[in-house]
Amino acid sequence: MAYGELGGDALTGKATSGQSAATAEAALLESLPPEERLILPCLQHIQRGLGYISDSAVNVVAEFLNVSRAEVIGVLTYYHDLRRTPPPAVVVGVCVAEACQAAGVRSLIEQIEHDFGVTLGAGTGLGAIEFAKAYCLGNCALGPAVMVNGRLVGRCDIGRVRAAVVNAQVVPR
């Protein structure tokens, strides 16, 4: 393989200027104000716009910020809220922080795992639904709490979780 054929300098890992800048990721980055042109804000901005961080987005961020792919991947893999794959139609985050544990989230998790046939944090269960652990949703007074496609639901029991999932399947993000 020739130098740069994989989309970057094989020795430094830096993106090369021969890559196409006419991508959705590049357009998103160009819209960032100068004070937000750091690795984490760039990745967050791309994820807000596209739903996840693709391999090509890693290259675009590296080129845009003039940093190595390794630096971008280091940030990307450190923060659990950043996704490397497209999200399913419904994403459910279940708060497992102390206040929600005191409010009974453990029994709710058991019910979710039983009813939806999933293991929390192990990927999808029924079709296009993903259940993941969340470490505090900031709704401590109304625990247990879940976040369904960005919508916070408090005082959850299995019925409220089911209703929120059904609503998320009907109402687009």
Q: Please write the tens of the pLDDT for every residue from 64-99.
A: 999 999 999 999 999 988 999 888 889 999 999 999
Q: Say what the pTM is.
A: 0.71
CATH of domain 90-170: 3.40.30.10
Cβ atoms of residues 139 and 145 within 8 Å: yes
Average per-residue pLDDT for the chain: 85
pLDDT tens for each residue of 28-70: 898 888 888 999 999 999 999 998 999 999 999 999 999 999 9
pLDDT of residue 87: 86
Closest CA to 118 of 161, 75, 59: 161
Where does CATH 1.10.10.1590 sit in the chain? 1-86
CATH of domain 1-86: 1.10.10.1590
Q: What are the helix (H) ranges across the chain?
A: 24-30, 39-50, 55-65, 69-78, 98-102, 105-116, 158-170
